[in-house]
Amino acid sequence: MALWTGFVFVLVVGLDLVVLASSRLRGAIRTVAFQGAVMSALPLLLASEHHQTVHVLALALGALVVKGVVIPGMMLWAMREAAIRRELEPIVGFVPSMVLGAVGVALAFTYSGSLPLPIHARHTLLVPSALSTVWTGLILVMTRRKAVAQVLGFLVVENGIFVFGLLLSDFMPFMVEAGVLLDLLAAIFVMGIVIFHINREFASLDTRRLTSLRD
Amino acid sequence: MLLLLLAPLAFAALAFAIPSGRIRPRVLLVGAVLHAAGVAALWVLRPGPALGGWLALDAAGLLTLSTVSAVFLASGVYVQGYLATHPERDNRVFVGSLLVLLSAMTGVSLAQNLGLLWVIIEITTLATAPLIYFKHDALSLEATWKYLMVCSLGIALALLGTFFLALASAGPGGPRTLLLSDLVAAGGTLSRPWVRIAFAFLLAGYGTKMGLAPFHTWKPDAYGEAPGVLGALLAAGVTNVAFLALVRVTTVCQAAGEGAFARGGLLGIGLLSILVAAVFMVGQRDFKRLLAYSSVEHMGILALGVGLGGAAAAGAFFHMVNNGLTKGVLFFAAGNIHRAFGSKQVDQVRGAARRLPISGPLFLLGFLAITGSPPFSPFFSEFAILSGAFHVGRPVVASVFLVLLALIFVTMGSTVLHIVQGDPGADEEPRQFHDRVLTAGPPLVLMLVVLALGLWVPDALTALFEAAASAVRG
């Protein structure tokens, strides 16, 4: 069991690097969807006797549906509607951003062991995986120009926070977890609508054009 | 309490369902009036906790809620006139989102669980986005996108901070909860390093929502491009509830023995915000963006007040009310001036007092009030914070604060006087827009309230400021 869990964590971090390296939006969206689907197995793998079965099942299923199916589906739909096929144009090149991501991952794995966790971590890889994923998401939001890619970065940040939240899932109220997932869904929905309007208004999804407002 | 939360949602659903764009704003007005009545009932009844302690009414929450409700009521009246001047725009989403926003702001004021608090604050972000985009042009679209991305990322950091705080409570003997009262009661058992990390993340996260520097970048764009009524609601509602969230977090830090750390952070970021606002106000040619920087400044003052502790903390809560009401005056008046001149550029607007005999002078009075001129109430709250700074032995902070306030008075004053004074000149095509009861009335009434609060503060209100401050005071 622990071996499988470790494998999932490594896969999650590996997918972070794949997203950083992927030059095609469609592929990046699929990668993030796969990451969401993979990590939705974590609540089940990490479940202990303190957990209520229904709670764990609902969390895993909710994450799978929202992160793995609905959100990527919405984003792919938005891309099809907006007829975007061009590749990502990062502000920071793919190789530097991958190096940046790898450095973050290395730091997270080296130093998270020395963090004074007040509770017993369910798995040694949980905290470093969560922190590296948050870091990857932040890099994506900062270094990409396309609106869709920025939303994707936001999604990766949320994935990282989700993994971190598993540390607390035995006492985190279900209402809060459900609220977080629903908020994420609504946020992506609203962003999708705005992207749709940006595309219509500017005939491009390049956020570089959003520079009229400045001081 | 639950009714207060759900009624606006029901009205929002009703607003979405009504096909007529002329009747729909009336739903908003009815919702606003009922909400204000409900808040008034809360003042009298003071109900106990609901939903297993997840919702409760405390002093800080009641103050925030009352400010929100008052400004929303004024907005409800103002919107009738505003939407009447724009019959061509579909207002279905606008009215619906406003009511959802009202419900969410009510929820934040009442929420006692930090997880629930986070969920509702994120809803305020999402409900505001379509409101900023109401004009449906390229500039408002850009403002909406920046607002969404900056605030969503900030809020994501706040979620991480909330989880850190939960982790801090999960140690041996810890309460293992995000319920505020339990966290405060079990303060000593919280893991202090994690409380510090949590506070840093929450300060950045909710600070983004409040618009504190250096996380204020969304503010000038959003305030500049959104309708004036939304500017009022952002400045008096959304940013205030984010401040309330920070106050809640500070309370927990205080209980955990990290109060000095938290207050230090608030003090630093507060002073930085006032400084940044003062710098960016110089040479600002767009008067709505000017108001946005004024909002950055006053959020900074709130953080500074709580950061100083002592008597300044009570002053900060007083200032939260005053700033909210005065910002209502300023944004309503600015919206009227914008419409009457068809521009929000300072160079193209002159003689507002002549063309708009009520809104023009109100803009000037609002400016005098917000920059702390007696006898308006912000003078007294800023004075309380200033004298509080001397009392707790921070004369340097007090002096810097005073110098920055004077600087802001001068820079803001030159712009405002330019707009209000002078001869508007002959307009080539006489505009349809004039001061009317529905658009000039709400800022006038709010201005009178600000004046009244300057002349006399009811004892009940003073007691509330004290009660709210005692939770965060060192």
CA distance B338 to chain A (A): 18
Question: Could you tell me how far CA B240 lies from the centroid of its own chain?
Answer: 4
Instruction: Output the pLDDT for position A91.
Output: 67
Higher pLDDT, B355 or B233: B233
> Each residue of A153-199: pLDDT tens digit?
999 999 999 999 888 877 888 878 888 888 888 888 888 888 878 77
Q: How many structural domains is chain B composed of?
A: 1
* C-beta atoms of A198 and B225 within 8 A: no
pLDDT per residue over B355-413, tens digit each? 899 999 999 999 999 999 989 999 999 999 999 999 999 999 999 999 999 999 999 99
State mean pLDDT over A52-64.
89
State the pLDDT at residue B432: 64
Whether the link from the prior residue into B214 is cis, omega within 30° of 0, is yes
- Please report residues of A whose CB lies closer than 8 A to that of B220: 213, 215
Q: Which residue has the higher pLDDT, A141 or A207?
A: A141
Amino acid at B175: P
Q: Band of the pLDDT at A86, cuts 50, 70, 90?
A: low
H or E element in which residue B60 lies: helix B59-84
Confidence tier at A71 by pLDDT (50, 70, 90): very high
Residue A88 has pLDDT above 70, yes or no: no
Give bridge partners of residue B55 from the DSSP assignment: B50, B111
Q: Is A81 on the interface with B (CB under 8 A)?
A: no
Question: What pLDDT score does A170 carry?
Answer: 78
In this predicted structure, the answer to whether residue B450 has a pLDDT above a threshold of 80 is yes
pLDDT value of residue B337 = 93
pLDDT tier at B44, thresholds 50, 70, 90: very high
Separation in Å, CA A110 to CA A3, A115, B313, B452: 20, 10, 42, 60
Q: What is the pLDDT of residue A203?
A: 67
Q: How confident is the model at residue A84 (pLDDT cuts 50, 70, 90)?
A: low
Query: What does the DSSP 8-state code read for residue B88?
Result: T
Q: How far is CA B162 from CA A22, B180, B265, B275, B411, in A?
A: 32, 12, 17, 29, 39
Which candidate in A190, A196, A209 is best for mutational testing of the B interface (most B CBs within 10 A)?
A190
> For residue range B183-215, what is the model confidence (pLDDT) as tens digits?
999 888 888 999 999 999 999 999 999 999 899
Helix runs in B282-394, H state only:
287-308, 311-341, 352-355, 359-370, 377-391
- Determine contact, residues B354/B448, Cβ cutoff 8 Å: no
Contact list in A for residue B218 (CB cut-off 8 A) is: none
Kindly give the residue spans of alpha helices, DSSP state H, lying in A65-146.
Answer: 71-82, 94-111, 126-143
At B110-155, the pLDDT tens digits run 999 999 999 999 999 999 999 999 988 888 988 999 999 999 999 9
> Residue A171 has what DSSP assignment?
T
pLDDT at position B248 over 90: yes
* Tokens 């009335």 -> residue: B441
Size of interface A-B (CB pairs under 8 A): 120
Q: How far apart are CA B10 and CA B100, in angstroms?
A: 9
Residue (of A11, A16, A15) closest to A136 by Cα position: A16
pLDDT band at B274 (very low <50, low <70, confident <90, very high): very high
Mean pLDDT value across residues B324-349: 92
Predicted pLDDT of residue A145: 79
Residue A85 has pLDDT above 80, yes or no: no
Which of the residue ranges A88-97, A181-190, B294-303, B416-425 would you say has the lowest mean pLDDT? A88-97
- The CA–CA distances, whole Å, from A214 to A32, A74, B221, B280, B289 equal 33, 31, 8, 11, 10
- Tens of pLDDT, residues B14-29: 988 888 888 899 999 9
User: For B65-109, what is each residue's pLDDT tens digit?
Assistant: 999 999 999 999 999 999 988 888 888 999 999 999 999 999 999
**Cβ of A107 under 8 Å from any chain B Cβ?**
no
DSSP readout, B144-209?
Answer: HHHHHHHHHHHHHHHHHHHHHHHHHTTSTT---S-BHHHHHHTGGGS-HHHHHHHHHHHHHHHHHH
Average pLDDT score over residue span B287-312:
94
Predicted pLDDT of residue B223: 94
**Measured in whole angstroms, how far is the alpha carbon of residue B156 from the centre of its chain?**
20
Which of A127, A156, A183 should be substituted to probe chain B, the one whose Cβ sees the most B Cβ atoms within 10 Å? A183
More confident residue, A69 or B432: A69
Q: Is the pLDDT of residue A90 over 70?
A: no
Cross-chain Cβ contact B126/A212 below 8 Å: no
For residue B444, the distance in angstroms to the closest alpha carbon of chain A comes to 31
Collect all residues with Cβ–Cβ distance below 8 Å to A106 and sequence separation of at least 6.
Answer: none
Residue of A nearest to B283 (CA): A215
The parent domain of residue B202 ranges over 2-425+432-472
B209 interfacial to chain A (CB closer than 8 Å): no
Per-residue pLDDT, A83: 67
Cβ within 8 Å, pair B153-A141: yes
Residue B197 in contact with partner chain A when CB distance is under 8 A: no
- Chain A residues whose CB is inside 8 A of the B156 CB are 154, 157-158, 161
Distance (Å) from the alpha carbon of B207 to chain A's nearest alpha carbon: 18
Determine the pLDDT at residue A87: 52
pLDDT (0 to 100) of residue A205: 62
Cβ of residue A203 closer than 8 Å to a chain B Cβ: no
Whether B121 contacts B242, CB under 8 Å: yes
Chain B touched by A154 (CB under 8 Å): yes
- Per-residue pLDDT at A121 exceeds 80: no
pLDDT at residue A125 is higher than 70 = yes
B425 or B221: whose pLDDT is higher?
B221
Asked if B144's CB is within 8 angstroms of A194's CB, the reply is: yes
ipTM value, please give it: 0.91
* E strand or H helix that includes residue B406: helix B395-420
Which of residues 272 through 301 in chain B touch A, CB cutoff 8 A? 280, 284, 289
Hey, are the CB atoms on B123 and A183 less than 8 Å from each other? Answer: yes
Contact flag B221-A197 (C-beta cutoff 8 Å)? no
Q: Which residue of B has its CA nearest to A168?
A: B167
